[in-house]
């Protein structure tokens, strides 16, 4: 395939290849997310129930949550250094971290000589998080650079492959489980696309970021951090990410016990909705504006989480998951696009900080959900001793109550943003409507 000029007028960059590489890297992260969500119960029973059954859900949530801390740290460090370290190097390192992190978790029982198994699994998950963070560090500013006039649409299309990866990972995990494969074999599936995109990086030429191509200095980039509206968007990212990703990683432990079907099936269904709908984000954002799209997203996400907290059958679970899925569909990529379109001089730094906020949020929200789950199950059972004695239908009933409570509490988070995004939407309208800022390439600042 011949090289074509990129959006900034520089020849020699194959936009199609770069976009496909970004898609494969992000799909790898989605595949891993889905499989870990499906294996939450298996990890809990294999590693943590033997250690402390009363608090095993919180322990499981902690190791699942550390993925997002590793993600956040990688973005926070990698984003301001992206122009110096290079996109290709960081994507190659991401591939290696995906392989190393998953192998550590798979062989955790054999690596417990110096550390307890909890910490071995924790370290493996943290390395996986670094891998995911490096992917986001590169692909978001890369897409913004390749398509500066169409960021909201292209970032949504790119991020359609996050749920696309979730679908692939979920279906493969279900199939392998049906055929009798253990959790280790299912987790090893992630190694295949990780190695694939690592090889794709070799020999690929990457463009400078939009900020560098425009001649915007690093000093000017850091000055964008002081813009009040960016601070508002950055803080809002904590809540939008919590509404989308924390419930998604909690489906196996929670929903499986309340709706009478495997939670991963609902996650696959929701991901299918997201995959399709993200391809139409450009038209919706043009009609509503990106901030208007976010307002409606928060409304539906909050309603969907409330419905998930009372769903008690496959039908009600499917309905609740539909409302929640439509709500969270556009949140992550549209938040990134809003920051990039409003503050293009902020370059990779501002996009990266948005991702950092989102992942720090999950790091704390997942253990919080786990703690709510554990406290509620003990209270519903009538005490710790009573819970330990539960079996059969009564145990499932108590665990169902705990799951519903955890979803109900998280529903508050996107509801808070209705006032925030509503205010920004009205402010934009008072100034003649939303307008993306375009920087002139080659202009020094």
Instruction: Summarize pLDDT for 84-123 with one digit per residue, the tens.
Output: 899 999 999 999 999 999 999 999 988 887 788 999 999 9
Q: Which two tokens stand for residue 373?
A: 């789950």
Q: For position 176, what pLDDT does the model report?
A: 96
- Residue percentage of the chain with pLDDT more than 90: 43
Q: Which two tokens stand for residue 326?
A: 């439509």
Alpha carbons 253 and 425: distance in angstroms, whole number:
37
Q: What pLDDT score was predicted for residue 205?
A: 93
pLDDT at 268: 84
- Burial of residue 439 (CB within 10 Å: 0-12, 13-18, 19+) is middle
- Determine the pLDDT at residue 131: 98
CA distance 214 to 207: 12
Question: What's residue 138's pLDDT?
Answer: 96
Q: What is the mean pLDDT of residues 352-374?
A: 81
Q: What percent of the chain has pLDDT over 70?
A: 92
Average pLDDT, stretch 37-44?
86
> What local confidence, expressed as pLDDT, does residue 64 receive?
85
What are 115-166's pLDDT values in tens digits? 889 999 999 999 999 999 999 999 999 998 898 888 888 999 999 999 999 9
3 state DSSP class of 147: coil
- Identify which has the larger pLDDT, 173 or 151: 173
Average pLDDT of every residue of the chain: 86
Higher pLDDT, 138 or 369: 138
pLDDT of residue 248: 66
Instruction: Say if residue 9's pLDDT is above 50.
Output: no
β-pair partners for 4: 13
- Output the pLDDT for position 5: 42
Q: Would you say residue 1 has pLDDT above 50?
A: no
Instruction: Write down the pTM of the prediction.
Output: 0.81
Residues in CB range of 344: below 8 A, 6 or more apart: 144, 148, 210, 211, 214, 437, 438, 439
Q: Band the pLDDT of 11: cuts 50, 70, 90.
A: low
Between these two residues, 68 and 286, which has the higher pLDDT value? 68
445 with 215: CB under 8 angstroms?
Answer: yes
Highest mean pLDDT among 31-45, 163-177, 349-363: 163-177
pLDDT of 115? 87
Per-residue model confidence as pLDDT tens digits over 185-203: 999 999 999 999 999 999 9
| pLDDT of 169 higher than 90 | yes
> What class has domain 15-430?
mainly alpha
The confidence score (pLDDT) of residue 395 equals: 80
Q: What is the dihedral of CA 20, 25, 29, 30, to 10 degrees?
A: 10
Interval 321-360: pLDDT, tens: 889 889 999 998 999 889 988 998 888 899 899 988 888 8
Copy the structure tokens of residue 36: 């870990």
Q: Judge whether residue 3 has pLDDT over 60.
A: no
Residues 369 and 194 sit within 8 Å (Cβ to Cβ):
no
Question: Helix %, strand %, coil % for the chain, to 5?
Answer: 80, 0, 20
Rounded to an integer, what distance in angstroms lies between the CA atom of residue 284 and that of residue 277? 10
Question: For residue 121, what are the CA distances in angstroms to 188, 220, 275?
Answer: 15, 41, 31
Of 128-142, 274-288, 387-401, 431-445, which gets the smallest average pLDDT?
A: 431-445
pLDDT band at 254 (very low <50, low <70, confident <90, very high): low
Domain boundaries, the chain: 15-430
Asked if 309 and 412 touch (Cβ cutoff 8 Å), the reply is no
In sequence order, the 6+-apart residues with CB closer than 8 A to the CB of 226 are none
Least-confidence region, from 113-122, 166-175, 400-409: 400-409
Residue 10 has pLDDT above 70, yes or no: no
The confidence score (pLDDT) of residue 442 equals: 52
The stretch 424-437 carries a mean pLDDT of 87
H-run or E-run covering 248: helix 228-249
């Amino acid at each position: 395939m011949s090289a074509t000029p990129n959006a900034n007028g520089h020849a020699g960059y194959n936009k199609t290849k770069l976009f496909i590489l970004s898609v494969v890297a992000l799909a790898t992260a989605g595949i891993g997310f889905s499989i870990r969500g499906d294996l939450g119960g298996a990890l809990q029973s294999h590693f943590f129930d033997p250690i402390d059954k009363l608090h095993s859900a919180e322990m499981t949530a902690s190791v699942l949550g550390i993925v997002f801390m590793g993600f956040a740290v990688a973005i926070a460090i990698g984003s301001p250094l992206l122009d110096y370290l290079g996109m290709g190097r960081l994507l190659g390192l991401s591939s290696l971290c995906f392989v190393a992190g998953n192998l550590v978790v798979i062989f955790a029982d054999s690596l417990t000589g110096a550390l307890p198994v909890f910490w071995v699994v924790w370290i493996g998950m943290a390395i996986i998080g670094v891998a995911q963070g490096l992917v986001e560090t590169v692909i978001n500013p890369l897409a913004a650079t390749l398509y500066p006039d169409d960021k909201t649409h292209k970032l949504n299309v790119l991020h359609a492959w996050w749920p696309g990866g979730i679908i692939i990972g979920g279906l493969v995990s279900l199939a392998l489980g049906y055929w009798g494969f253990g959790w280790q074999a299912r987790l090893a599936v992630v190694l295949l696309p990780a190695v694939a995109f690592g090889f794709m990086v070799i020999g690929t030429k990457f463009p400078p970021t939009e900020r560098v191509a425009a001649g915007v200095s690093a000093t000017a980039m850091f000055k964008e951090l002081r813009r009040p509206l960016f601070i508002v968007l950055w803080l809002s990212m904590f809540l939008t990410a919590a509404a989308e990703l924390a419930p998604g990683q909690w489906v196996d432990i929670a929903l499986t016990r309340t709706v009478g079907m495997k939670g991963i099936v609902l996650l696959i269904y929701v991901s299918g909705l997201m995959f399709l709908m993200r391809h139409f984000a450009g038209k919706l954002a043009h009609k509503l504006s990106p901030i208007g799209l976010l307002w409606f997203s928060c409304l539906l996400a909050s309603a969907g989480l409330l419905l998930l907290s009372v769903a008690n059958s496959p039908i009600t679970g499917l309905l609740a998951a539909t409302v929640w899925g439509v709500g969270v569909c556009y949140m992550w990529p549209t938040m990134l696009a809003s920051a990039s379109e409003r503050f293009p001089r902020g370059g990779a730094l501002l996009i990266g900080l948005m991702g950092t906020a989102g992942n720090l949020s999950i790091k704390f929200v997942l253990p919080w959900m786990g703690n709510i789950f554990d406290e509620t199950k003990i209270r519903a059972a009538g005490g710790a001793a009573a819970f330990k004695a539960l079996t059969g239908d009564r145990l499932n009933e108590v665990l169902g109550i705990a799951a519903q409570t955890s979803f109900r509490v998280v529903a508050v988070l996107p509801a808070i943003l209705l006032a925030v995004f509503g205010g920004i939407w009205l402010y934009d309208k008072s100034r003649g409507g939303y307008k993306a800022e375009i920087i002139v390439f080659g202009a020094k600042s």
